[in-house]
């Protein structure tokens, strides 16, 4: 199967393929296969080794005013928290955002690459690319690398001529259009809060509060999520970062400690009989 | 891959690409084609050589669809046209598949022109011997467009243009008589332009109108004859008015 390696090209190589008029793709870059009895098994194991668990919580939803995108910021390697300050919401261009779940390098590289493609589309066609088109470009690239160990579970959120757009795209090659998505190990917890609190007719403040609360609750219960809950809003004029709150502080914001009831018991001498 | 011995299209000492210029000659020998852009429609008209008695005239359609909202007419080598049209049709669908949206007229024109250019800069191939007139409606803004490409691979947008046999006379006529028109007026203008160089009659002209709502509609021979009759009548009336001495008070 010919890989779509157009993502790795930095400029169209028309000069090199001057004789190639039939429109065929030149041979894709290839590598040697290892000698092994059970190549399929080897491939599966290699993918498992490379594939980091999608330890994260990201969510996005469409509401009356636009799209709300939120994510945590923890990166974990097994039980070790490698970073509490990872930027999981990637700015593709001023009116489109992508979320990161899965392999950080994969997400960052391919989102950056998508940004390049979107810009080239704008220059060639004198109009912005739609969220539909951008998500399809990414999905097609990821599909052509299917089975090769990419780990990407992303949501493309943006505002185009048809209004707000939200797509879920993953490294299996799937692409879904929707109004509410949450991706990552903390997503079940986030869905619980998001689904029960969601209304289409929300103001921006209500929606951002809902998003923040959903991320907080996911970080509370899921060990692989934590750090800072970032909330972004995508409207007709582009995206805007609304807040970035440490989830530890959010915990005490939602569960304030009242001075009267202390958890610990004060140690007093037993009353002398 | 076969080894190409040498490029056929090479520069001459004084900067000409002779193969491309010869291709333009082939275009000049092809049948006349005219395109006129109105405010709410675009009209394509093509000269039809009188059909041989046994030929099924319906199989030689000269104005073709590239997509629901884009049509093409051309002048020059018809066999080359078939190849180009097929590639363009595939590209239209490919665009729909990749970005889930129909392509603009400008996009497909750019693609066709790019294809024509590629064949002027490759080894072992000759340029396409045809110029195309591409019409359609922009799916986003809804405005009509008319573009022309030629064997060198250049393209530009036009309000009205002609290509093929006697295209210079048709273009002169259009330059003198063009004004913003809509609906049936645009059709009449296109047919009048074509009649400058074609023997009159519905049998010798093929006309199609593209509207935003209904896409491409080929006009029936009877319809064309009716419009031609109207035009002749108007011409006769204008002649009579000129000849008759002006009525004084």
- B40 reaches A (C-beta below 8 A): no
- The string of DSSP letters for A86-150 reads ---EEEEETTEEEE--B-HHHHHHHHHHHHHHHHHHHHHHSSPPPHHHHHHHHHHHHHHTTTTT-
Contact B1 A21 (CB under 8 A): no
- B114 reaches A (C-beta below 8 A): no
Cα pseudo-dihedral B96, B102, B106, B108, rounded to 10: 40
- Out of B106, B110, B121, closest to residue A18 by CB: B121
Q: What is the pTM of this model?
A: 0.79
Is pLDDT above 70 for B24? Answer: yes
Mean pLDDT of B190-206: 85
- Out of B100, B104, B121, closest to residue A136 by CB: B100
Contact B101 A132 (CB under 8 A): yes
Q: How far is CA A124 from the centre of its chain?
A: 28
Q: Give the C-alpha separation, B153 to B120, whole Å.
A: 8
Q: Give the C-alpha separation, B201 to B50, whole Å.
A: 10
Contact A133 B99 (CB under 8 A): yes
Contact A21 B107 (CB under 8 A): no
Is pLDDT above 80 for B157? Answer: yes
First CA to last CA distance, chain A: 88
Using an 8 Å CB-CB cutoff, list chain B residues near A169. none
Using an 8 Å CB-CB cutoff, list chain B residues near A133. 98-101
Interface test with B, best of A15, A19, A117, A134 (most B CBs within 10 A): A19
Q: How far is A156 from chain B (nearest CA, A)?
A: 14
pLDDT of residue A13: 43
Any idea how long chain A is?
273
Using an 8 Å CB-CB cutoff, list chain B residues near A129. 99
Segment B29-83, tens digit of pLDDT: 999 999 999 999 999 999 987 777 788 777 778 899 999 999 999 999 999 999 9
Q: Give the C-alpha separation, A185 to A182, whole Å.
A: 10
pLDDT of residue A10: 54
Q: How far is A133 from chain B (nearest CA, A)?
A: 4
ipTM: 0.76
pLDDT of residue A47: 66
pLDDT of residue A22: 47
Q: Give the C-alpha separation, A170 to A157, whole Å.
A: 14
Mark whether A56 is an active-site residue.
yes
- B99 reaches A (C-beta below 8 A): yes
pLDDT of residue A257: 86
Using an 8 Å CB-CB cutoff, list chain A residues near B124. 19
Report which DSSP code applies to A6.
Answer: G
Using an 8 Å CB-CB cutoff, list chain A residues near B99. 129-130, 132-133, 136-137
pLDDT of residue A215: 96
Contact A137 B107 (CB under 8 A): no
Report which DSSP code applies to B201.
Answer: S
Q: How far is A139 from chain B (nearest CA, A)?
A: 10
A219-to-A222, B48, B152 alpha-carbon distances in Å: 5, 74, 62
What six digits make up the tokens of B18?
Answer: 């002779």
Q: Give the C-alpha separation, B150 to B112, whole Å.
A: 10
Using an 8 Å CB-CB cutoff, list chain B residues near A126. 106
A253 Cβ neighbours under 8 A, 6+ residues apart? A245
Using an 8 Å CB-CB cutoff, list chain B residues near A132. 99-101
Tell me the residues of chain A between 70 and 129 that have a Cβ less than 8 Å away from chain B.
Answer: 124-127, 129
Mean pLDDT of B208-226: 91
Segment A175-226, tens digit of pLDDT: 999 999 999 999 999 999 999 999 999 999 999 999 999 999 999 999 999 9
Q: From its phi and psi, is residue B142 left (phi > 0), alpha (psi between -120 and 50) or beta?
A: left
Mean pLDDT of B153-167: 95
Mean pLDDT of B89-117: 94
Tell me the residues of chain A between 153 and 182 that have a Cβ less than 8 Å away from chain B.
Answer: 161
The overall average pLDDT reported for chain B is 90
pLDDT of residue B75: 93
A267-to-A92, A260, A272 alpha-carbon distances in Å: 57, 16, 14
Which member of A56, A57, A58, A154 is catalytic?
Answer: A56
Is pLDDT above 60 for B84? Answer: yes
Regions of chain A where pLDDT drops below 70: 1-2, 7-29, 31, 46-54, 261-263, 265, 270-273
- A36 reaches B (C-beta below 8 A): no
Cβ-based contacts under 8 A for chains A and B: 39
């Amino acid at each position: 199967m010919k890989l779509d390696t157009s993502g790795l090209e930095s400029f169209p190589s028309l000069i090199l393929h001057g004789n190639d008029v039939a429109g065929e793709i030149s041979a894709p870059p290839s590598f040697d296969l290892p000698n092994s009895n059970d190549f399929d098994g080897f491939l599966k194991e290699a993918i498992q080794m490379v594939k980091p668990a999608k330890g994260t919580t990201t969510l996005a939803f469409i509401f009356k005013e636009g799209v709300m995108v939120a994510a945590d910021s923890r990166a974990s390697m097994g039980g070790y928290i490698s970073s509490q300050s990872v930027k999981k919401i990637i700015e593709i261009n001023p009116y489109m955002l992508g979320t990161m779940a899965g392999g950080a390098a994969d997400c960052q590289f391919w989102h950056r690459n998508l940004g390049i493609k979107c810009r080239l589309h704008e220059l060639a066609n004198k109009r912005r690319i739609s969220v539909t088109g951008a998500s399809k470009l990414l999905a097609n690239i990821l599909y052509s690398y299917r089975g090769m160990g990419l780990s990407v579970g992303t949501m493309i959120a943006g505002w185009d001529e048809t209004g707000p757009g939200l797509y879920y795209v993953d490294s299996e090659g799937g692409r879904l259009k929707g109004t509410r998505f949450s991706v990552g190990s903390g997503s079940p917890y986030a869905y619980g809060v998001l689904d029960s609190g969601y209304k289409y007719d929300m103001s921006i403040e209500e929606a951002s509060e809902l998003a923040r609360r959903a991320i907080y609750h996911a970080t509370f219960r899921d060990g692989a999520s934590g750090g800072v809950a970032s909330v972004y809003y995508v409207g007709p004029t582009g995206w805007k970062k609304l807040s970035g709150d440490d989830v530890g502080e959010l915990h005490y914001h939602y569960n304030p400690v009242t001075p009267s009831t202390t958890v610990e018991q004060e140690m007093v001498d037993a009353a002398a009989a | 891959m076969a080894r190409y011995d040498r490029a056929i299209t090479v520069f001459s000492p004084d900067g000409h690409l002779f193969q491309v210029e010869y291709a333009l000659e082939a275009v000049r020998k092809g049948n006349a084609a005219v395109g006129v852009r109105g405010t709410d429609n675009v009209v394509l008209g093509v000269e039809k050589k009188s059909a041989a008695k046994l030929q099924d005239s319906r199989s030689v359609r000269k104005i073709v669809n590239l997509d629901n909202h884009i049509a093409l007419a051309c002048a020059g080598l018809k066999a080359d046209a078939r190849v180009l049209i097929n590639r363009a049709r595939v590209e239209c669908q490919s665009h729909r598949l990749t970005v889930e949206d129909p392509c603009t007229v400008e996009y497909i024109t750019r693609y066709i022109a790019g294809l024509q250019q590629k064949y002027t800069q490759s080894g072992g191939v000759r340029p396409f011997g045809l110029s195309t007139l591409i019409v359609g409606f922009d799916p986003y803004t809804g405005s009509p467009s008319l573009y022309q490409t030629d064997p060198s691979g250049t393209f530009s947008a036009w309000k009205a243009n002609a290509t093929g046999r006697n295209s210079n006379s048709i273009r002169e006529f259009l330059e003198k008589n063009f004004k913003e028109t809509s609906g049936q007026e645009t059709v009449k203008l296109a047919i009048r332009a074509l009649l400058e160089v074609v023997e009159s009659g519905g049998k010798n002209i093929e006309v199609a109108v593209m509207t935003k709502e209904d896409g491409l509609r080929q006009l029936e021979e009877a319809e064309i004859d009716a419009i031609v009759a109207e035009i002749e009548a108007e011409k006769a009336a204008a002649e009579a008015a000129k000849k008759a001495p002006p009525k004084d008070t």
